[in-house]
Structure 1
Amino acid sequence: MNTQYISQPTDSKKEKIEEIVQKSWIRCETSYQLDPSQKWKAEVLCGAEFRHVSSRSALLLRQAAEEMQHLFTLVQGLGLMVLLADADAMILARCVDATHLSVCRRLNLREGAIWNEAIAGTNGIGTCVEDKCPIFLGHGAHWRFCFTLLISYAVPLFDAQGRVAGALNLASMNGKREQPVDKLLMETLAQSGRRIEEQLFRNSYAGQKILTLGSVRGCSAPLVSVNNQGEIIGATHAAREWMGWTDQTIAEHPNLLTELEEGSEISFQKAEENVIRSALAVSQGNVTQAARGLGISRATLYRKMKGFGMS
């Protein structure tokens, strides 16, 4: 069994991340039967293969490019590179400077390199897309000993249908243990991931109303797209998880407020209030237009506004 050390968690979010690492190690030993002492170098697709495979992620690449560059300008002084991978853990793009090139060559951190967990072991990109969760791998947390000095922060990216589209990764070979900025970097990375998801979602449902169900948690924002009848035609990963919606649910185009009213928990009431406030914002305060967009009568909307103490 790999005996590398993981420090004890200090909060619930860190505990969740370390639980993901432990599960990944178990998969490496039992499912993949990987030798942690064995050196490994990523397989890299040739030019033609890479162009063919990456074309499937053309939309993600296009939407992520600007955000990657913005993220790189924020973390460049910390010696971090920015990597974008697809849902199969293949690196699609990177933002690096001259100081990273030797590490990139040594580890094949380049376009077309495949970092699937089943062959690379626990790693930021591969484990992130496998578990669909954010992950931080500090000193010695990778499965393979050859990556002991590799520091990695990664968050999953979700497409407009709530599926994992890939991962956004910050990486460094500085060999340092946990730093005071780790939590800040994870949150910054999550914000970048959410902005990419939102842009993918808005582009997919261009011309439709986009409403939020509530405050953002984690790597996905709880957004929904509704048509002029107030029917749900799209939902992000977070919205689907929160409401328990499936592809079949979305395909049936249920009315959004009816769906929310069926929930008895306070969280659903708060979601309904957020949707109404969002609809009013979209209509610039026009109650009649907001009611039409939500698929309810003006009188019903006024009643709901009164119930939530909204003037």
Structure 2
Amino acid sequence: MTHQLAQSRHIHSILNFAAKDSYPALTPNAELIGRSWKRCIEDYGMDPSRPRSARIVTQQTLREHQDSVDEFLNVARAGVDQLYGIIAGLGYVVLLTDHRGITVQYLGDRRYDRRLRKAGLYLGADWNEQYAGTCAVGTCIQEQQALTCHRVDHFDATHISLTCTSAPIRDPSGDLLAVLDISALDSPNARESQTFALHLTQLYARLIEDAYFLRRYRNQTVLRCGVSREFVQVNGQYLFAIDEGGRIEAVNTAGRSLMPKNAAGLIDGVSGMTELFECDLRDIWSIPYDHDDQVKAFRHYANKDTLFATLIKPKAKPADYSGSVKASNDERVPELDQLAADDPVMRRTLSLAKRLRNRDVGLLILGETGTGKEVLAKAIHQSGSRASGAFIAVNCAAIPESLIESELFGYVAGAFTGARAKGMRGLIQQAEGGTLFLDEIGDMPLHLQTRLLRVLAEGEVLPVGAEAPIRVNCRFMAATHQNLEQLVQSGAFRSDLYYRLNGATLKLPSLCQRADRQHVINSVLRKLIKQGQVEDVHIRADAMSAMLAYHWPGNIRELVNALAFAEATCDNHEITAEDLPEACLKQKSVAVPTEPSESPDGRRCLLLALETYRWNITEVARRFDVSRPTIYRWLQHHDIEQPRFLGKR
């Protein structure tokens, strides 16, 4: 059937529905879709024979909608990214709209931008039912429930190739806050192919909603309940924010299902946990102490079901105290602590740096270009016993080879043609009492490595042209992005110098590997503002999402440039995604695994594909661009059995 013929039949089907007021046939949500079609015809005055083009709001309007849910977008980003990582290989996009149906966050394959934008599967698209007709987002908003709008369920005939699945996200008051949607331009005809999509969308909508609830009430005690004792601390579905008297101040969507309701279906008659559960207030507050697992069983007053509960208490602010000369694991060292938040690799690096900052042991800092090796070295110097001395940084790769010897070691008067009349103190001498930081040490010429080794071994420097050495007292730190062990093996770097420099090794992860990227972005911006390099600006959630998704090949150095560019191009002291350099807007590619073992999401991705294509192995193989035997090998690897009634296809 041609696309034009399919559209004509769909228009005829809607007109027939309007004439007979009969719900669409063969639709699981027949009444729901029928109500929506009826609204489109009677309330909105839509004509099915006059399809509407996708409506993309202006940048200014989009910005206003994003601003209104900025805090929520900061929380939702991780869930949207994770969901997209699971479904991208199957041709889906992810849309997150506000409660009015405007797409405020979007992830999709940029190769199909033109088609996606034309279909309205794009940032800023308006999916309100009053404009777009029956669709997953708009009808979810109207019906206040999760649903799949599959192909001919759509009112607009231009949407009948689409499949869209949406789930509502509510705020702690129970009001609709946003809608999470996954959609595909081309989908299998079978409606059953979207069963798993519906479950997946509802799951991530709940995860995002609960994460936002916990963020909103992070300074308050939250009672978390679930049906399983073993999982309640990580996946308790019922959340109650309570005050010191056990009174309920907010509850998530799942928790509202436990609350008694009046004849109108509204929550009624419960103000405290002791009215909801058969317990005393003491039973609530003693949860962390009565059992080793910090979980306690409660019985629901009304339905008598047993639920397990744990308490999430706000963290008390640590008392400020002064550090001693000798560092401990818990010692606060502001110069170092500000360099990271909760990244595990950085925590280990900074913990070691704290222990060694007052020792004169040589430090070798390893990391890619732009990861902040000099920043770390300077922080160690400023927090250590040599802080009153100078910090001299030398980039061994930036100084011409012909000058590096005189720059490092200095020279006496008349040492060579063009020398200063009074000679010059070298950088090593200038670091007297302080720290000499040798950046890109791997680029130092071999003959100078020999002279540097003497300085390290004997604590003396011999200026060019001098007859007697000069005593020096400074600490040496070195850094490189190269593999010094390989350079030693190839003869390009002296092994004895390597071991002299490498009293301890500090490793810096690349920016894209850091778990605290958001902290780094905010810290770098604050530093630029404090230094007067940029004006005081705010990073909006869409810009933060784009920066967190970018792989930053230039690391923190590239981040500094990107923020400076964005500040220069932004309006109203607010950086949006549109203000970022074009490179930062490129989404991370989502790898479809060639072997299931390569991805923790391999099984889920494979199951979704099998469900989508109703176990048609040929279609699944085509989707992953592999052979049929590879699919069967994946099934065996993940211990997935093909349903017997389908047979091999």
**Bin of the TM-score, shorter chain as denominator length:** 0.7 to 0.9
- Per-residue deviation, 1:199: 0.7
SS at match of 2:65: helix
Q: How far, CA to CA, are the matches of 1:260 and 1:62 in structure 2? A: 34
Highest CA radius of gyration, 1 or 2?
Answer: 2
1:278 equivalenced with 2:284 (yes/no) = no
Residue in structure 2 matched with residue 188 of structure 1 by the alignment: 200
Q: What is the letter of the counterpart of residue 164 of structure 2?
A: S
Q: Measured at CA, do residues 228 and 245 of structure 1 come closer, stay the same or move farther in structure 2, by a change above 3 Å?
A: farther
Q: How far, CA to CA, are the matches of 2:154 and 2:49 in structure 1? A: 11
Alpha-carbon contact 1:90-1:115 (below 8 Å) kept: yes
Percent pairwise identity: 21
Residue in structure 2 matched with residue 291 of structure 1 by the alignment: none
Q: Measured at CA, do residues 193 and 36 of structure 1 come closer, stay the same or move farther in structure 2, by a change above 3 Å?
A: same
Unaligned stretches of 5+ in structure 1? Answer: 10-14, 284-311
Task: Give CA-to-partner distance per residue, 1:248-276, whole Å, 9 cap, x none.
Answer: 979x98221213459x9886321xx31xx
Alpha-carbon contact 2:223-2:241 (below 8 Å) kept: yes
- The correspondence for 1:114, drawn from 126, 133, 147, is 126
SS at match of 1:268: coil
Residue in structure 2 matched with residue 136 of structure 1 by the alignment: 148
Q: Measured at CA, do residues 214 and 22 of structure 1 come closer, stay the same or move farther in structure 2, by a change above 3 Å?
A: farther
Residue in structure 1 matched with residue 174 of structure 2 by the alignment: 162
Residue in structure 2 matched with residue 145 of structure 1 by the alignment: 157
Q: Measured at CA, do residues 18 and 265 of structure 1 come closer, stay the same or move farther in structure 2, by a change above 3 Å?
A: farther
Q: How far, CA to CA, are the matches of 1:282 and 1:49 in structure 2? A: 38
Task: Give CA-to-partner distance per residue, 1:53-100, whole Å, 9 cap, x none.
Answer: 220011221111111111111111211010110000001011101343
What is the TM-score normalised by the length of structure 2?
0.38
1:220-231 maps to which residues of 2 (within 5 A)?
221-231=237-247
Q: Measured at CA, do residues 26 and 221 of structure 1 come closer, stay the same or move farther in structure 2, by a change above 3 Å?
A: farther
Q: How far, CA to CA, are the matches of 2:257 and 2:47 in structure 1? A: 36
1:67 equivalenced with 2:102 (yes/no) = no
Q: How far, CA to CA, are the matches of 1:249 and 1:168 in structure 2? A: 25
SS at match of 1:143: coil
1:1-311 maps to which residues of 2 (within 5 A)?
2=14, 3=16, 8=26, 15=28, 17-178=29-190, 180-212=192-224, 214=226, 221-244=237-260, 254-260=271-277, 268-270=303-305, 273-274=306-307, 277-279=308-310
Q: How far, CA to CA, are the matches of 1:144 and 1:117 in structure 2? A: 11
Q: How far, CA to CA, are the matches of 1:51 and 1:282 in structure 2? A: 35
SS at match of 2:154: coil
Q: What is the letter of the counterpart of residue 199 of structure 1?
A: A
- Per-residue deviation, 1:47: 1.6
Q: What is the letter of the counterpart of residue 8 of structure 1?
A: L
Q: Measured at CA, do residues 267 and 99 of structure 1 come closer, stay the same or move farther in structure 2, by a change above 3 Å?
A: farther
Q: How far, CA to CA, are the matches of 1:42 and 1:181 in structure 2? A: 25
Q: What is the letter of the counterpart of residue 255 of structure 1?
A: G
Task: Give CA-to-partner distance per residue, 1:191-226, whole Å, 9 cap, x none.
Answer: 10001010111111113332345559xxx9432122
Alpha-carbon contact 2:270-2:276 (below 8 Å) kept: no
Alpha-carbon contact 2:140-2:146 (below 8 Å) kept: yes
Q: How far, CA to CA, are the matches of 2:30 and 2:213 in structure 1? A: 30
- Per-residue deviation, 1:245: 6.1
SS at match of 1:269: coil
Alpha-carbon contact 1:149-1:176 (below 8 Å) kept: no
SS at match of 1:76: helix
More relative contact order, 1 or 2 (CA 8 Å, 6+ apart): 1
Unaligned stretches of 5+ in structure 2? Answer: 1-12, 18-22, 229-235, 280-298, 314-649
Q: How far, CA to CA, are the matches of 1:96 and 1:69 in structure 2? A: 10
Q: What is the letter of the counterpart of residue 278 of structure 1?
A: A
- Per-residue deviation, 1:228: 2.8
Q: What is the letter of the counterpart of residue 209 of structure 1?
A: T
Q: How far, CA to CA, are the matches of 1:31 and 1:222 in structure 2? A: 37
Q: How far, CA to CA, are the matches of 1:24 and 1:261 in structure 2? A: 43
**Equivalent pairs, count:** 266
- Per-residue deviation, 1:238: 3.2
Q: Measured at CA, do residues 21 and 215 of structure 1 come closer, stay the same or move farther in structure 2, by a change above 3 Å?
A: farther
Q: What is the letter of the counterpart of residue 251 of structure 2?
A: A
- Per-residue deviation, 1:229: 2.1
Q: How far, CA to CA, are the matches of 1:171 and 1:40 in structure 2? A: 19
- Per-residue deviation, 1:155: 0.5
CA RMSD in angstroms comes to 3.1
- Per-residue deviation, 1:151: 0.7
